[in-house]
Amino acid sequence: MDETAPIPVNIVTGFLGSGKTTLLRHVLAHPAFARAAVLINEFGEIGLDHLLVERLDPSTVLMESGCICCTLQEDLRTGLRNLHARRARGEVPRFDRVIIETTGLADPAPVMATVMNDTMLRHHMRIGSVVATVDAVNAPTSLGRFAESRKQVALADRVLLTKVDIADEAQCVRAHEHVAALNPHARIERTVQGAAGPDVLAGIGSADPAERSAEARRWLDAALSGRARLRTGPAPEIARARLARFHGEDGTEADEVRTLVVTLDEPVEWTAFGLWLSLLVERHGDKILRLKALLNVEGSPTPVVVHGVHALLHPAEHLERWLDEGRQSLLVFIVQGLSPALLERSLRSFLKLGARVREAETAGQA
């Protein structure tokens, strides 16, 4: 391992009782995670999660109180800084990954923000993939009733449907549909007793170019199939109605989570896109739960990936090569309380302006 490379920080999230700890216990038993450090927080008086996870990993740091995301960002920041300092001093094993388990009621976004915004942490750590567990039996209830649960799914790169051994097939399919409707780019998998392979924590932010490309391919396929299913798909009427409800297409719920998938055939003028997205996240960052874009940038031979959460955008990066010959740009936004149609119109207006300015520039040089 390159000792100077930023350490990936994975986030394991999921609603109360959805199997986060079971997943962690399984994942941590795999040799690939022998050098992972685990940060958990105690929620409530029992601290059950702590008791279970601590036995697995001696470098577990227990947060002092409450919920990581709402009240303990400073604790998380301090916890991560201390962990890194102890690693540098040789007081703890040289861990090569940090896994943060959030509470069942947590919003993962502030956790990501803590790592990405801290002046010290952002140089030593990077956000890896976010994994959410969803109980297949109770998915309609938790996703239907609790905004926290929807947010966790919307932010995830991967969603693991848990308890599929006690759910029947119809429940599993329904849970899958709910998740896919909330997050069209997530990779959704079924697990029994947390049994997931080591690649469950791999992600698009990986230092490995091949892994980055493979991850891009996965979410691209998921996004396109999700869109097809939503707009035209063979989904039965009842499922389509449910998808529409989750996408807020009936327009009745202003704060409902909605998804926008845009494809662009023309190459993207990067400056216009940069200005547009900067302005969008500055003005509406609180309503953008997640965004991922694979862009055919004008003049660039390879695709550019942009992804972020709220107003937090990871530095844009080039992938090694195009995944297909089409070279179509694809953008996926998961938003809350924003009109997808207006968002798309705005993007296209800014890009058109970019093309006009570029043409004027070229004409001026000729």
60: its two tokens = 């577990």
- Shortest distance, position 355 Cβ to other proteins, whole Å: 11
Q: Of the two residues 194 and 303, which places its CB atom closer to other proteins in the complex?
A: 303
- Shortest distance, position 298 Cβ to other proteins, whole Å: 8
Q: Of the two residues 31 and 315, which places its CB atom closer to other proteins in the complex?
A: 315
Residues at the interface with other proteins (CB under 8 A): 119, 122, 270-284, 297-302, 304, 306, 308, 313-316, 318, 338-339, 342-343, 345-346, 349-350, 352-354, 356-358, 361
- Shortest distance, position 121 Cβ to other proteins, whole Å: 12
Residue with tokens 């490995």: 208
- Shortest distance, position 357 Cβ to other proteins, whole Å: 5
Residue 210: alpha-carbon gap to chain centroid: 19
Nearest residue to 273 via CA among 235, 246, 300, 245: 300
C-alpha–C-alpha distance, residues 52 and 36, integer Å = 16
Q: Of the two residues 193 and 339, which places its CB atom closer to other proteins in the complex?
A: 339
C-alpha–C-alpha distance, residues 218 and 222, integer Å = 6
Q: Of the two residues 189 and 344, which places its CB atom closer to other proteins in the complex?
A: 344
Q: Where does residue 229 fall: left (phi above 0), alpha (psi -120 to 50 degrees), or beta otherwise?
A: alpha
- Shortest distance, position 309 Cβ to other proteins, whole Å: 12
Contacts of 84 (CB under 8 A, 6+ apart): 7, 120, 121, 124, 125
Q: Of the two residues 146 and 270, which places its CB atom closer to other proteins in the complex?
A: 270
Q: Of the two residues 51 and 357, which places its CB atom closer to other proteins in the complex?
A: 357
C-alpha–C-alpha distance, residues 335 and 343, integer Å = 10
Q: Tell me the one-letter amino acid at 245.
A: R
Q: Where does residue 320 fall: left (phi above 0), alpha (psi -120 to 50 degrees), or beta otherwise?
A: alpha
DSSP one-letter code for 314: P
- Shortest distance, position 359 Cβ to other proteins, whole Å: 12
- Shortest distance, position 226 Cβ to other proteins, whole Å: 23
Q: Of the two residues 90 and 299, which places its CB atom closer to other proteins in the complex?
A: 299
Q: Give the DSSP H or E segment for 131.
A: strand 125-135
- Shortest distance, position 266 Cβ to other proteins, whole Å: 16
In DSSP notation, 316-355 reads: PEE-SS-SSSS--EEEEEEEESS-HHHHHHHHHHHHHHHH
C-alpha–C-alpha distance, residues 357 and 361, integer Å = 6
Q: Tell me the one-letter amino acid at 293.
A: A
